[in-house]
Amino acid sequence: MEIISKFLQKNGLVFAFLAVGVIIYLSGIISDKLTRRKIPASAIAILAGLVIAYFGGVYSGGEKGIADVKIFSGFGTMGGAMFRDFAIVSTAMGASFLVLRRTGWVGALSLFLGIVLSFLGGVAVALLWGYRDAVSLTAIGAGACTYIVGPVTGAAIGASSDVIALSIAAGVVKAIVVTIGTPFVAKYIGLNNPHTALIYGGLMGTTSGVTAGLAATDPKLVPYGALTATFYTGLGCLACPSILYLLMRLTFGG
């Protein structure tokens, strides 16, 4: 047992990737078999990660959560800024600006409206929870955009780990709501062609939620909604820790 423990400690990053792969695989099975894909596998995996990180932190008594446990130390590197930024850039690499132009000014407007409205909704919830400082309000507001924008913004402006966790949770809830709600509202909003799918992806933003929701509505619309949702994530990562954060500081103080 000691040999295995030392081996895992020496290959911490590789073991971290293996552990995440297993979590994602099991989340896919749960999503497919238990929820009939009504809840995205990514949302289940993120919730599982939050739970494991919490109990890992309780067990170790440290400040880095599960990364304080020696055999899971690789999660500290895997969850660091380098891999986080790489994941964001690799996500945006799949987007095509030429395709986005086909939606015209309405598509661009949907992106900005989607980010601002989601952000303001998250800020309103944060105010109800009792947060009054600009950093916490911005981080939770960004989390309401997507569960990627939330932690990226939180890390950039120096939010606490508790607030970042809340921002991720807000994004996960949004992804689940969009996934379940999309098939029900599709016929009422004319979500039956690529043009409206592009606009819908820009308004909702959460790539996993939009993808899963459109897959349940019409699989042919998935690439279009996912395209603008990807742009939404990139734009949110730029706007939330800069322009929107400055507005929060002007409104609520620094």
- Of 25, 50, 79, which residue is a domain's last? 79
- Domain of residue 36 covers 1-79
Q: Could you tell me if 123 and 235 lie in one domain?
A: yes
What is the spatial distance between Cα 121 and Cα 141, in angstroms, rounded to a whole number? 7
**Total count of domains within the chain:** 2
Q: Could you tell me if 134 and 223 lie in one domain?
A: yes
- Which alpha helices (DSSP H) does the chain contain, by range? 2-10, 12-33, 41-60, 74-78, 81-92, 97-100, 104-128, 134-145, 149-157, 161-189, 194-204, 207-217, 222-239, 245-252
Mark 177-188 as b/e (b = at least 16 C-beta within 10 Å): ebbbebbeebee
Q: Could you tell me if 110 and 230 lie in one domain?
A: yes
Query: Which amino acid does the sequence have at 154?
Result: G
- Of 46, 79, 112, which residue is a domain's last? 79
Q: Could you tell me if 105 and 57 lie in one domain?
A: no
pLDDT per residue, tens digit, the chain (254 aa), is: 677 777 777 888 888 889 889 998 998 899 888 887 777 777 788 778 778 877 776 666 666 667 777 778 888 778 766 676 666 566 555 555 666 666 677 777 888 899 999 999 999 999 998 898 999 999 999 999 988 899 889 988 988 888 988 998 898 889 888 888 888 888 888 888 888 888 898 899 888 888 878 877 887 888 888 888 888 888 898 899 999 999 999 988 76
Q: Could you tell me if 132 and 238 lie in one domain?
A: yes
Identify whether the C-beta of residue 114 lies closer than 8 Å to the C-beta of residue 138. Answer: no
Q: Could you tell me if 65 and 101 lie in one domain?
A: no
Distance between first and last Cα of the chain: 51
Q: Could you tell me if 110 and 63 lie in one domain?
A: no
